[in-house]
Structure 1
Amino acid sequence: MTKDDERSIPAEHLTRVTWALRRAEWAVQARKDQRLRPLGMAAAQYTLLISVNTDPGLTGAELARRLNVTPQAVASQVARLEERGQLERRPHPRHRHVQELHLTDAGRASLHDADAVIVGIEQRIAEKLGPKKAAQLRALLDEVADVVREA
């Protein structure tokens, strides 16, 4: 047995909860991207728009922390959405070097269309699981998030 064999990870890693969460996340993200593509939107852009819609006036740095991505990734997406007229930057009322992000009317319309797509994906999941399992899944995922935050 080589030293590498002693340090290898057993195949049971595929049965871990975190691996199951990741596989589910990949599947959902892939479906979101596939279904949003005809609207000219990526799942990451939807996430950014829904975040700004929920909390208008976020800064790029706040958004990056909230989405757990780099400020550069947010800046790149903001620039694309701004070019499309879906997002605008406004001066922060107290910090002259900071800009707040706000949806435009076009951004709200695009978000509305994209959200209908996402709701369709969520409905499909809920239909397949049934109301009881869907509620259990949501409760378990909330619990997982709480446990991980506490760790």
Structure 2
Amino acid sequence: MTQDDERPIAADALDRVTWALRRAEWAVQARKDQRLRPQGIAAAQYALLISVHNHPGLTGAELARHLNVTPQAVASQVARLEGRGQLERRPHPRHRHVQELHLTDAGRDSLRDADAVIVEIEERIAEKLGTKKAAQLRALLNEVADVVREA
């Protein structure tokens, strides 16, 4: 396989594990966005809400690191979700210039509804793969994450 500049590219470039992971992620994200859109929430907002739910009091910078996105991306989504009354900022108990993020009741309701959609997607995957293969896939993906972090 070659590119326009004729430098060789490995013939198996599109058969790599990393490419398969990316294709799967694109498919999952597209399905999440499609299924969450009627609820007025994007997959990225779901990820932010569930992260704050699981780690209440995160700062914007901590949340950005947790989600592996830029602080600007988090700030934009936080402002949007705060404007909808789904998130609130509270003063940090020790650092007066730092604010913690917390879900509001509306945020918890929205997250609960969105999570039901995500559960349906998960169930569809498990239904097609079977319970055993789905568990194996989850374990393998966790191993991949660990290997890449160690590299």
| TM-score, with length taken from structure 2 | 0.96
Matched, 1:87 2:79: no
Matched residue of 2:5: which SS? helix
Secondary structure of the 1:57 match is coil
Q: Secondary structure at the match of 1:101?
A: strand
* Alignment partner, residue 4 of structure 1: 5
Residues of 2 paired with 1:4 and 1:108: CA distance?
Answer: 52
Moved over 6 A (4+): none
Q: Which amino acid aligns with 1:83?
A: G
**1:4 partner SS:** coil
Amino acid corresponding to residue 21 of structure 1 in structure 2 = L
CA offsets per residue over residues 11-57 of structure 1, 9 Å max, x none? 41110000000000000000000000000000000000000000000
Partner in structure 1 of residue 29 of structure 2: 29
SS at match of 1:41: coil
Whole-Å separation in 1 of the counterparts to 2:49 and 2:8: 42
Q: Aligned partners of 1:109, 1:125: CA distance in 2, in Å?
A: 25
Cα distance in 2 between the residues matched to 1:27 and 1:4: 30
| 3-state secondary structure, aligned to 1:9 | coil
Paired residue for 2:129? 129
Residue 9 of structure 1 aligns to which amino acid in structure 2? I
- Segments of structure 1 that go 5 or more residues without pairing to the other structure are none
SS at match of 2:94: coil
What's the CA shift for 1:9? 1.6
User: Is 1:68 aligned with 2:68?
Assistant: yes
Counterparts of 2:8 and 2:108 in 1: how far apart (Å)?
49
Letter in 1 for 2:73: A
Give the drift of 1:132: 1.1
TM-score normalised to the size of structure 1?
0.96
**Residue in structure 1 matched with residue 57 of structure 2 by the alignment:** 57
1:96 maps to which residue?
A: 96
Q: How many residues align?
A: 150
More helix per residue: 1
CA distance in 1, matches of 2:140, 2:113: 29
Q: Quick check: 1:119 aligned with 2:119?
A: yes
Looking at structure 2, the residues matched to 11 and 56 of structure 1 have their Cα atoms a distance apart, in angstroms, of 47
**Rounded Cα–Cα distance in structure 1 between residues aligned with 2:83 and 2:38:** 18
Q: Distance in 1 between matches of 2:9 and 2:36?
A: 37
Q: Equivalent pairs: percent with the same residue?
A: 86
How many Å separate the matches in 2 of 1:11 and 1:110? 46
